[in-house]
Structure 1
Amino acid sequence: REQQDRARAMMGRGFDPAMFDSPEIRFNILENLVGQRVLQLQARKQKLVTSEAQLQQIILQVPAFQVDGKFSHDRYVAALASQNMNPAMFEARLMQELLSQPLQEAIALGGFSAQGAVQRYLAIVEQQREVAVAQLPLEGFLGQVKADEAALRAHYEATAASYQTPEQVKLEYALLTADALMAQMAVGAEEVKQFYNEHQKDYTQDEERQAAHILLNLKPDAKAEDKAAVQKKAEALLAQVKQAPAKFAEIASKESQDPGSAANGGDLGLFGRGMMVKPFEDAAFGMKVGEIVGPVQSDFGFHIIKLTAVKEKRVRGFDEVKSQIEQDLKRQKAAKKFGELAEKFGHLVYEQADTLEPVAKELQIEVKTSPLLTRVQVQAMAMNNAKFVQAVFAPEALQSKRNTEAVEIGPNAMMSARVVEHKPAAARPFEEVRVEVARDLTRKLASAAAAKSGAEKLALLQAGKDAGVKFDRAVTLTRQQRLPGFSEAAVQQIFRADPAKLPAFVGAPLDQGGFGLYRVSAVKEAPAAEATKLKANGERLSDQAGRELFNAYLGALKERAEVKINQKNLEKK
């Protein structure tokens, strides 16, 4: 259930509960759960703990629990309720997840990549090849192939399913959603005002300040002489910008070692308390607009700070947020009402299975009738839910014309339907689809002819002979680049060509049909990577190595643990 809730939250309308009916999916989930459990046991064994303060700090920072950038307890409760959870359940789950996090990070961060390996990786990925293509388009072979009547009929019989009219159903259906229930929810003016008064802190925008800075980097463990040299340079820059305050941005662009802000003249944008390191925050919130102070030392180094603007603390007025509060209260009430009605909806469609009228009358929802729909159209109607399609097209639903089970097709949305008309899939007569059959078979034969001709011409080119083809102008290609006329198969062949034997010729089918011949005329090795690129790619490859290291560690923990799997329960639907 917990895994379903997470998948639903991540996938939204694309969530399909039916995916959890698959033994393969269930096994993967079980593997996940076992992994989490053995990690938690190992974390406890190593006496790793998560404090209440850490837990609360993480919850306060979740955007889904915030209103106007501030934590809202009511939004927190409502968001959890929509996922069938309460704060105690969520916090207990989060505490379990956080318990093993330090252990995971310690191992995953242990991966590393040698600089030589990173250089070789970049040399391979960024190598360029000059390639010209000569295309043998499919259209050039369509006139060369011909299918007689017998071949057409044979192709039709072999691929009859491609020429069927799809199975269709006409439905009566009832849909219960929290969104629809919102229209029935009443929220009084006094209720809205009371909520505003009780949660005014949620509508308070604290003071924010905007500053620019010049940063000179310094490691926290720097030697005293290094610190003195950096501080001396910072003091010189401070004197320079104080003498010419209008040139602060220009000087910051040249001198600041903060790559994130230097390009913007040192501008850091608006920030509130708690968003900057403490020494920087204390300085910025003690300054006047236009004032320049420094050097201010933090864990990053020495800062020279210029305060450029102050946005005063402000409480959003009731009239400004009234509509939002009203909608939020309606949404909360609708979600609660949906929870109350969902069980009743399921019982009614089951207990009076030959009609949807009782559930419609009881819950004040409408029974609608669809036109004839295919499987694809039924799935689209049901928020792309595959389980609903399975329920509608199940043999018992088609034969008995009784209500399907109540299917949860999305968050706070349930649906049941009854088949009132069914048209099975039917083969279309050969005479009706003869033109389509002829088109499909002709293209198939033409593709085979293009591949045969391409292979023959490729053999001539590789033997150093004239193949009677004209190559386009050469283009530069990398392994990760896709250009028109270069299929994935073609790119693979091009980079397998021996660079010591140029020109080299390779061939591959074209994406749109036909065949492509490729002449590799030159290889351009990647230039030596700059230090920043080596570092970035080294970190990425190290992350990958760290994940592999962690997976190996997790596998070892699972092997040592006594894990018993009930295969029958795993396969049970």
Structure 2
Amino acid sequence: MFDFVHQHRRIAQIILFLIAIPFLFFGAYDYFQRRGDEDVSVATVAGDKISQGEFAEAVREQQERTRRALGRNFDPAMFENPEVRFAMLEQIVNQRVLERKARQERFRVTDAQLQQFIAALPAFQDSGKFSPEKYRQLLSTQSMSPTMFEQRLRQDLLVAAVQEPVAGANVVARASTEKFLGLLDQQREVAIAAVEAEPLAGDTKIDDAQVKAFYDQNQAALQTPEQARIEYVVLSQDALMAQTTVDPAEIRKQYEANEKQFQATEERSAAHILVAVSADAKDAEKAAAKQRAEALLTRVRANPAKFGELAQELSQDPGSASQEGDLGSFSRGTMEKTFEDAVFAAKVGDIVGPVQTDFGWHVIKINGAKAARTQSFDEVKNQIEADLKRAKAQQKFAAAADQFQNTVYEQADGLEGVAKALNLKIETTPLITRSQAQALGQGNPKFVQALFAPESIAGKRNTEAIEIAPTTLIAGRILDYQPAAPRPFDDVKDEIRRQLTRRAATELAQQAGRAKLALLEQGKTEKEASIAFDKPQLVSRNQPKPGVSPEALAKVFQANPDQLPAYAGAVNERGGFSLYKITKVVKPGEIDATRLDAASARLSEQLGRELLNAYLATLKARADVKINQANLEKR
């Protein structure tokens, strides 16, 4: 079992990612405790229940990780989306079926194997050796104990033993990759003609009866939305933090007591171009990869300004290629030793390599360097003050939250009491819609649902305190309410007439365009079809051009290249109909070997995902997975 893990170093990358970066939906799945004593389940896997409480805990933890990752861009409403909730449940189900398969195959990871694996992870090493202190410190930053991490890691390694052989059976023939790139790079010469809707608007006649009929049949779409003027208060840890003061002497004392924490380690920032080759590849393959890396090194040293462009085009590291190879800043113990040694031995601006790691050969550009040093008190005093304020605010929040909840309930006729008790500001809005009210609650639908509930509208009483984010509560009440109402016919009749005119003109244009296309496909001349094409231009699958929609581009490349000229047509973005005359096929030249390798790696990765998805589907079918949609939708 451990031989398998040892031979697949990519698992180590996954583990490092899980402990170092807040992840989104995919990676490790079982990051919650199972609560088998709850009867209400959202799914069953071979009779094993996934409880509603277990799922709710997974959602809550995922929300917090996503919030940390996205910051102010976080929208809690995304977790109310049925598709997102189903996707999260799907990940838990996938984990369960893989665990079940691991048990059936009697896979196991011994304590010795687990400790050997952890000790080999660079993130936990200091000067190339495992550091228990660094291990505990890094885990604590993720609110994890060693026991918790080791339990999860053991489970992940067992699951990896099931999925890695499947995802690894992703061999793509070189000829298939060449054919794929040939089709991707192929260009076609097309001329475009369009039958536009706007000139045909004058040929349409919309009478008063049609306008009135549309009005009568679409009352709901023509309503003014319901609106309300509201007042609300928000209690958050940040609000308490703003009210908190810290004695300067306390800040100085905190610095002097924890001076070691403010030692900034030496860092480098770098970018790289990877020529991938497996660690267990044949010597000839490794030598060929090294030759390509050496050729790349010569190219980038000759023109360093092109490094980013070449990384985007040729690097076989899917994680950094799109970022011009940028790896950001890192300290020692983060990357593989040979990579780090080369980076930390070089100067800023140097381009070094090829450097060999388990992933292949790297050409590396050093973008920046920061020397190790102890930050001065003046540099960090604002950070220390903020940390102390945050700690004090966190201590205050629990009591303040209880007071907030009780006061908005007990003094339900207004918010003055809670605002005065907790030194909060009452915010008042003009007339706003439901969607605008939801935005006030950071996108949380529970706030707008409570606010616009019939009893809240009728009584103009406070909503309950609603948690719209961790350590953030809101309560509000309606001051004035205007229900949705139909707009008068006289106010909208001109708008309706214009809409019906546009619709009729669009139908005429598309009918005329399709008729002309049919004539051309029957062999009629352009003159006979009353159509004039513009100057031909080259288009390709991977470089769309204005005037050629994705639908049109697909039809252009579906045309038979052996029967030119060929014709295609599609509705254009203006509502008219565009016709495309394909006159020439331009085949690509010889494909660069490095690009061919990069494409092969990406196709292999995609094939691996598809194989794993198919394998998971088989396991789920055998495990008789059942989803309880009603319980899944409960909040």
Matched, 1:47 2:108: yes
Counterpart position of 1:410: 469
Shift of 1:162: 3.0
**Match for 2:615 among 538, 543, 553?**
553
| Secondary structure of 1:349 counterpart | helix
Return the alpha-carbon distance in structure 2 between the equivalents of residues 496 and 303 of structure 1. 40
Counterpart position of 2:320: none
Alignment of structure 1 residues 427-506 onto 2, 5 Å: 427-463=486-522, 464-465=524-525, 466=527, 467-506=529-568
**Match for 1:361 among 413, 417, 420?**
420
- Which AA in structure 2 matches 1:460? L
- Which AA in structure 2 matches 1:46? F
Counterpart position of 1:5: 61
Return the alpha-carbon distance in structure 2 between the equivalents of residues 379 and 313 of structure 1. 47
Deviations 1:471-518 (A, max 9, x none): 121111123443222223322322222222211222221112222121
TM-score by length of 2: 0.70
Counterpart position of 2:160: 102
- In the alignment, is the contact (CA less than 8 A) between 1:210 and 1:270 conserved in 2? yes
Deviations 1:26-75 (A, max 9, x none): 554333223223334544631136846866998968xxxxxxxx989999
| Secondary structure of 1:143 counterpart | helix
Deviations 1:441-482 (A, max 9, x none): 111111111112212222332332322222121111123443
Q: Cα–Cα, structure 1 residues 447 and 57, in superposed 2: closer, same or farther, change >3 Å?
A: farther
| Structure 2: runs of 5+ lacking an equivalent | 1-56, 125-132, 312-326
- Which AA in structure 2 matches 1:192? I
| Secondary structure of 1:47 counterpart | coil
Alignment of structure 1 residues 110-509 onto 2, 5 Å: 110-207=169-266, 253=301, 272-274=331-333, 278=337, 312-463=371-522, 464-465=524-525, 466=527, 467-509=529-571
| Secondary structure of 1:366 counterpart | coil
Alignment of structure 1 residues 532-551 onto 2, 5 Å: 532-551=594-613
Q: Cα–Cα, structure 1 residues 373 and 356, in superposed 2: closer, same or farther, change >3 Å?
A: same
- In the alignment, is the contact (CA less than 8 A) between 1:123 and 1:526 conserved in 2? yes
What is the root-mean-square deviation of aligned Cα atoms in Å? 4.9
Matched, 1:521 2:521: no
**Match for 1:15 among 65, 75, 85?**
75
Return the alpha-carbon distance in structure 1 between the equivalents of residues 444 and 474 of structure 2. 10
Shift of 1:432: 1.1
Return the alpha-carbon distance in structure 1 between the equivalents of residues 486 and 59 of structure 2. 42
Q: Cα–Cα, structure 1 residues 362 and 133, in superposed 2: closer, same or farther, change >3 Å?
A: same
| Structure 1: runs of 5+ lacking an equivalent | 62-69, 232-236, 238-248
Return the alpha-carbon distance in structure 2 between the equivalents of residues 212 and 487 of structure 1. 36
Shift of 1:316: 0.9
Q: Cα–Cα, structure 1 residues 126 and 358, in superposed 2: closer, same or farther, change >3 Å?
A: same
Return the alpha-carbon distance in structure 2 between the equivalents of residues 21 and 298 of structure 1. 42
Matched, 1:36 2:36: no
| Secondary structure of 2:584 counterpart | strand
- In the alignment, is the contact (CA less than 8 A) between 1:40 and 1:96 conserved in 2? no
- In the alignment, is the contact (CA less than 8 A) between 1:8 and 1:15 conserved in 2? no
Return the alpha-carbon distance in structure 2 between the equivalents of residues 339 and 98 of structure 1. 35
- Which AA in structure 1 matches 2:597? K
Deviations 1:354-382 (A, max 9, x none): 33233223322122221110122212222
- Which AA in structure 2 matches 1:488? P
Deviations 1:322-351 (A, max 9, x none): 112111222333344334433443343334
Return the alpha-carbon distance in structure 2 between the equivalents of residues 303 and 437 of structure 1. 63
Return the alpha-carbon distance in structure 1 between the equivalents of residues 64 and 359 of structure 2. 41
- Which AA in structure 2 matches 1:5? E
Q: Which has the higher contact order (CA 8 A, sep 6+)?
A: 1
- In the alignment, is the contact (CA less than 8 A) between 1:253 and 1:262 conserved in 2? no
Shift of 1:189: 1.9
Return the alpha-carbon distance in structure 2 between the equivalents of residues 287 and 479 of structure 1. 41
Return the alpha-carbon distance in structure 2 between the equivalents of residues 311 and 406 of structure 1. 47
Worse-matched range after superposition: 301-310 or 465-474: 301-310
Q: Cα–Cα, structure 1 residues 17 and 88, in superposed 2: closer, same or farther, change >3 Å?
A: farther
Identity of aligned residues (%): 42
Return the alpha-carbon distance in structure 1 between the equivalents of residues 447 and 120 of structure 2. 40
Paired residues, what number? 533
- In the alignment, is the contact (CA less than 8 A) between 1:397 and 1:419 conserved in 2? yes
**Match for 1:511 among 573, 579, 584?**
573
Return the alpha-carbon distance in structure 2 between the equivalents of residues 510 and 117 of structure 1. 34
Deviations 1:196-242 (A, max 9, x none): 233323321334689999x99999889999999xx9xxxxx9xxxxx
| Secondary structure of 2:203 counterpart | coil
- In the alignment, is the contact (CA less than 8 A) between 1:43 and 1:99 conserved in 2? no
- Which AA in structure 2 matches 1:313? A
Q: Cα–Cα, structure 1 residues 285 and 452, in superposed 2: closer, same or farther, change >3 Å?
A: closer
| Secondary structure of 2:506 counterpart | helix
Q: Cα–Cα, structure 1 residues 411 and 146, in superposed 2: closer, same or farther, change >3 Å?
A: farther
- Which AA in structure 2 matches 1:47? R
- In the alignment, is the contact (CA less than 8 A) between 1:165 and 1:425 conserved in 2? yes
Q: Cα–Cα, structure 1 residues 367 and 254, in superposed 2: closer, same or farther, change >3 Å?
A: closer
Return the alpha-carbon distance in structure 1 between the equivalents of residues 429 and 300 of structure 2. 65
Q: Cα–Cα, structure 1 residues 549 and 261, in superposed 2: closer, same or farther, change >3 Å?
A: closer
Shift of 1:173: 1.0
Return the alpha-carbon distance in structure 2 between the equivalents of residues 506 and 533 of structure 1. 32
| Secondary structure of 1:135 counterpart | strand
